[in-house]
Structure 1
Amino acid sequence: MDLTIEWFKDHQILSVPGDCHKQNPRLALGGWCYQECNTHYPDNDDTLVSLLCIAMHEPAELSSKASLAAIDFLLGMQCTNGGWACFDGWDNRNCWLNYTPFGQGNEFFDPSVPDITGRVLECFGILLALSDDFYRKTGKRLLMDEMCLQIRRACHKAIQYLRTEQDSQGRWRSRWHVNYLNGTYSVLCGMKFCSGSMHSKKSRGCKDEMIQQPISWIKSVQNQDGGWGEGASTYQQGYATERFDSTPTQTAWAIMGLLAHLPPTDIAIVNGIQNLVRTQTIGMYVSNEDGTGIGAGPSATWRQKEYVSVGFPDILWLDYSSSRHGYPMMALGRWLREMKSREIRVGEVSSCC
């Protein structure tokens, strides 16, 4: 892990202004980019993931210049409507670019989206929690009061944005992964940390309303095998309501969304966990033809042939081969952590349900 964290630190962009700095020259440096040799295009998603990895591995790093620069970058990239886009922080809603001859239907604009906004919200919530926990243990503050205030204000604006983006079923769309399961899970995980003194009693009531409906929707689309699935057709207007085959990636998203607000013994969560345990391949040879991507060979993995990530909605679908491994492990890890925190043994789950 130490080598991984050093790799993250070495790849932080601290000296090269990016495309986003042309619209906002005062924007702090300190982001991370997607892929190598892409330093002119730091993005919010890679930045928050890299920052979280560093801070969660060693909380004391939260007060380092590099971490504070990354926080400043994310704060500066918030759009005026309270949300976050992926690459732009200047309210890029120039959808007319899509209709130019070279557009070919691709999205040449980068507006705020619920999935990125939810993940930034979760990142900020975790950082505040790490800072508070460090202060309780050591009496030392990792984040100064002014920085904490800026983060809380940004989170408050983000919640207002997400409230306007929630649909009649309580869901949120996702720009970068298929689709409502990812957007809804991302927002629910972000909303987990937005309580207490951050908001007034009235706003906390609104938050509760925002949470209960999406939880009910996630439960309503759970498959009989305990998993969840969603197809690319959900990006089409007026798509018919249908059931999709369960995938390990989307099952993990649903579990984490529910787990952010429900106990680990909730029957929907337990059935989802059992689905992941049951569908994991162990001790058998798995080929790339099974849709496993990385990890081919005699190992434990999950099969997934469906494309659940997005290049351009309705145009280009992507398959990140690590998703079917990483997200299920995240879901299982979070579930085990919640079980441990409640001192519930895994073998006792059936009796709890």
Structure 2
Amino acid sequence: MEGASPTSSNRISQHFLDLRALAGSSIAATRDWLLAHQHADGHWCAELEGDSILQSEYILLLAWLREERSEIAQRCAAQLLKQQEPSGAWTQFPGAPIDVGSSVKAYFALKLTGHDPTAEYMIRAHNAILEAGGADKVNSFTRFYLALLGQIPFELCPAVPPEMVLLPNWSPINIYRISSWSRTIFVPLAIVWAHRPTREIAADVSIHELFVNKPEDWPELRCPGLDKPQGLFSWDHFFRTADSGLKLLEKYKLRPLRKRALQKAEKWLLDRCEKSDGPGAIFPPIVWGVIALLTLGYDKQSAEVQYFLDHLKRLAIDDGAETRLQPCKSPVWDTSISLRALAAAGSGLSQEPTCRGVEWLLSKEVRVAGDWSNNVACEPGGWFFEYENAFYPDNDDTSMGIMALVDQLAAADISLELHPGDTLANTSVVVGGRGIAERLAGSSAAMMEQAAAATRRAVAWMTAMQNHDGGWGAFDKNNDAEFLCHVPFADHNAMIDPSTPDLSARVIESFGRLGVTINSPGKVGDVVRKAVAYIRANQLSDGSWFGRWGVNYIYGAWQCLVGLRAVGVPADDPAIEQGKLWLLAHQQACGGWGESCETYEDPSLRGQGSPTASQTAWALLGLIAAGGEKLPQVANGVRYLIDTQRPDGAWDEVEFTGTGFPRVFYLKYHYYPIYFPLLALAEWNRATARS
């Protein structure tokens, strides 16, 4: 420190050494915790927690199946009571304002499972819903559930025409222009919309007391942010006219292609059950898949229907008297980040547990073409998120998978290096490092070759998946038709999958870990330079970046700083400096960082919220990448993690810091406050040892 006396400098140095020693103890405790929670076959998978709609919608499905009084329905209802806020409402994340759709579904589910509407908690729920505008305010998905159970007519749900599956890829509107997650919901829901299967329920379990106006007078459905009517010559007006026209054709049974469309939709749905934990491996299309198949005439005991029901049961977690459901499972994601954190903490391939983790990860590489191949010609490669989801690898898991392999090999003093040729076809990934001749023998040699081949395919696939703007979306290329967000069905705010800065930065971070920089020659270098330009263009004026897949601007700033630095953008670059200053400006007095999901609704709140271990770790990783490892603010952040760590090496975190769909659905990854703090502390220890 400039101007400090020798004595004060010595004190500072000793304090720094003491902090590094404490960090070393924290690292060891968390490393042991993580290794103790590894599955026998080598992978990690924590609970992925969503909000109350998972329990509510499962109960509503069971009610449609006439099983609302079953034991599992009662256990899910008990979980709903546990999730109810003191106000009587149900919310998208703990402490959030009321979510009307979630609250209506929860109230309805409780009535169906036998809860007395005159009970105090039901009265609180009833009053909270009416104060927020009543069931009139629910979204399109909730309307479909209400229609299934006879509360409103299907005509008040948005049109979901099965004929859309017949539209060719070159059509401006087709199922591959919408996001993969919406696509896997659209197809079974289109079958349901065509058949309109309704179960009439008893009047004493209906929810008409939640209706402020008659259903036919309910407001029009619109995507959040597009909630104002637009002019005559607008996409909003076009799609509302189309919706009315489709319903008119339906009324008069003018649907000559219906039989063919339903046959194709049925085949499409069943095809996506291959090598998958259900279509898309996520909760909503599995639920609608059950309804679609039964509507088509499948027997409930058929192998096809049981496949869907079994995968729903696999998402359930029993906890005492309650059962909660997960939206999906996250083993590839959890395993990749765990391997990275353990490698940073010194547990590399020389140790049997992490070696098993790498073998498991390699076993999950995608080797078949999926939906992405409708727009991209490339050899299959990469990784998905869940246990099985071969149709839907994603750029996020693929880049994280590459880095897990690179980090694990590096911890064993072995490197994977990318050697770009004149064309991507000539690009190779080779194994390098000291002492390899002695290390590569037998199965280890085969695993190195498999890792190199999988990495080469993943790099080629992600390169082919780059969008025209230089960034990446999650599952598809150039899936950015914003006009489709004006479809009434699009009110779940997830109709498209465009480029996002956080994900784009993670992709180039993985390229950087393989030695590619902004100065690299050839196609891969061009890919990185185009991506850097995209990330620069999307930096906000205050220095932060939007975070699509994690909450929110802290997540975006972390990932963009790390990604830019990984490909050689210097620490004194203005974008790096501004991002670093933004993170420093939002550190809290306790030393930690925190940000609420509310920032998606109100960006002026960015950088504000209860401090969390995961978000503190992200901020520290961003600052370390920006060259700030010796800053006192970074030391304070390290101290915050050390001081808040539990004796067993883990951290408590009640907040939701994962993002499913902004403004609609959020996630709590139960391992985020484990492997991210471990990674941050280990990276800080490593960086300060070098400097």
SS at match of 2:489: coil
What does residue 312 of structure 1 align with? 661
In structure 2, distance between residues paired with 1:326 and 1:60 = 22
> Is the 1:249–1:323 Cα contact (8 Å) retained in structure 2?
yes
> Is the 1:45–1:116 Cα contact (8 Å) retained in structure 2?
yes
Q: Of residues 443, 448, 456 in structure 2, which corresponds to 1:68?
A: 456
Q: Is 1:164 matched with 2:537?
A: yes
In structure 1, distance between residues paired with 2:491 and 2:632 = 46
Deviates more, 1:94-103 or 1:160-169: 94-103
C-alpha deviation, 1:240, in angstroms: 4.7
SS at match of 2:515: helix
Q: Of residues 577, 591, 601 in structure 2, which corresponds to 1:236?
A: 601
> Is the 1:28–1:76 Cα contact (8 Å) retained in structure 2?
no
In structure 2, distance between residues paired with 1:77 and 1:177 = 21
What does residue 469 of structure 2 align with? 81
> Is the 1:17–1:29 Cα contact (8 Å) retained in structure 2?
yes
C-alpha deviation, 1:44, in angstroms: 0.5
In structure 1, distance between residues paired with 2:509 and 2:633 = 23
Q: Is 1:9 matched with 2:354?
A: no
Q: Of residues 105, 108, 114 in structure 1, which corresponds to 2:501?
A: 114
Q: Of residues 497, 511, 518 in structure 2, which corresponds to 1:124?
A: 511
1:114-157 CA-to-partner distances (Å, cap 9, x unmatched) read 0001111111111117xx9xxxxxxxxxxxxxx96332211110
SS at match of 1:32: coil
| Closer/same/farther in 2, CA of residues 69 and 162 from structure 1, 3 Å limit | same
Q: Is 1:275 matched with 2:648?
A: no
> Is the 2:505–2:563 Cα contact (8 Å) retained in structure 1?
yes
Letter in 1 for 2:470: G
1:293-337 CA-to-partner distances (Å, cap 9, x unmatched) read xxxxxx221111110111110110101111010110010010011
SS at match of 1:104: helix
Aligned positions, number: 300
Letter in 1 for 2:386: Q
Q: Of residues 600, 616, 623 in structure 2, which corresponds to 1:251?
A: 616
What does residue 336 of structure 1 align with? 685
- Kindly, what percent of the aligned residue pairs are identical? 32
Letter in 1 for 2:396: D
C-alpha deviation, 1:100, in angstroms: 2.7
In structure 1, distance between residues paired with 2:415 and 2:501 = 30
In structure 2, distance between residues paired with 1:94 and 1:154 = 22
Q: What residue ranges of structure 2 are gaps of 5+ in the alignment?
A: 1-353, 417-428, 431-451
Letter in 1 for 2:633: A
Deviates more, 1:259-268 or 1:119-128: 259-268
What does residue 284 of structure 2 align with? none
SS at match of 2:472: coil
1:178-232 CA-to-partner distances (Å, cap 9, x unmatched) read 1000001000001112337xxxxxxx79x81111111111111100000000011
In structure 2, distance between residues paired with 1:240 and 1:30 = 39
SS at match of 1:128: coil
Match runs of 1:179-194 below 5 Å: 179-194=552-567
SS at match of 1:185: helix
SS at match of 2:670: coil
C-alpha deviation, 1:242, in angstroms: 7.5
| Closer/same/farther in 2, CA of residues 194 and 37 from structure 1, 3 Å limit | closer
Q: Of residues 373, 382, 392 in structure 2, which corresponds to 1:31?
A: 382
> Is the 1:95–1:107 Cα contact (8 Å) retained in structure 2?
no
Deviates more, 1:151-160 or 1:248-257: 151-160
SS at match of 2:660: strand
> Is the 1:304–1:324 Cα contact (8 Å) retained in structure 2?
yes
Deviates more, 1:320-329 or 1:147-156: 147-156
C-alpha deviation, 1:101, in angstroms: 3.5
C-alpha deviation, 1:56, in angstroms: 2.6
SS at match of 1:331: helix
Q: Is 1:153 matched with 2:506?
A: no
| Closer/same/farther in 2, CA of residues 243 and 37 from structure 1, 3 Å limit | closer
Q: Is 1:20 matched with 2:372?
A: yes
RMSD: 2.2
If the length of structure 2 is used for normalisation, what is the TM-score?
Answer: 0.42
In structure 1, distance between residues paired with 2:407 and 2:597 = 34
> Is the 1:229–1:243 Cα contact (8 Å) retained in structure 2?
yes
In structure 2, distance between residues paired with 1:98 and 1:262 = 40
| Closer/same/farther in 2, CA of residues 121 and 170 from structure 1, 3 Å limit | same
Q: Is 1:301 matched with 2:650?
A: yes
If the length of structure 1 is used for normalisation, what is the TM-score?
Answer: 0.80
In structure 2, distance between residues paired with 1:238 and 1:79 = 26
Letter in 2 for 1:106: N
> Is the 2:554–2:607 Cα contact (8 Å) retained in structure 1?
no
Q: What residue ranges of structure 1 are gaps of 5+ in the alignment?
A: 133-146, 197-203, 283-298, 343-353
In structure 2, distance between residues paired with 1:195 and 1:50 = 21
Letter in 2 for 1:156: R
Letter in 2 for 1:318: L
Q: Is 1:44 matched with 2:395?
A: yes
In structure 1, distance between residues paired with 2:684 and 2:606 = 30
In structure 1, distance between residues paired with 2:633 and 2:586 = 11
1:69-115 CA-to-partner distances (Å, cap 9, x unmatched) read 111011111111111111112x1112333333433333120000000
In structure 1, distance between residues paired with 2:407 and 2:614 = 23
1:2-29 CA-to-partner distances (Å, cap 9, x unmatched) read 1111111111012x101111111x2231
Match runs of 1:196-215 below 5 Å: 208-215=573-580
> Is the 1:93–1:111 Cα contact (8 Å) retained in structure 2?
yes
In structure 1, distance between residues paired with 2:515 and 2:524 = 8
Q: Is 1:103 matched with 2:495?
A: no
> Is the 1:28–1:69 Cα contact (8 Å) retained in structure 2?
yes
Deviates more, 1:258-267 or 1:216-225: 258-267
Q: Is 1:322 matched with 2:671?
A: yes
Q: Which has the higher contact order (CA 8 A, sep 6+)?
A: 2
1:40-88 CA-to-partner distances (Å, cap 9, x unmatched) read 0010011111112223323455423222111101111111111111111
Larger Rg: 2
> Is the 1:99–1:105 Cα contact (8 Å) retained in structure 2?
no
In structure 2, distance between residues paired with 1:54 and 1:242 = 32
In structure 2, distance between residues paired with 1:86 and 1:127 = 21
SS at match of 2:357: helix
> Is the 2:493–2:663 Cα contact (8 Å) retained in structure 1?
no
Match runs of 1:281-292 below 5 Å: 281-282=646-647
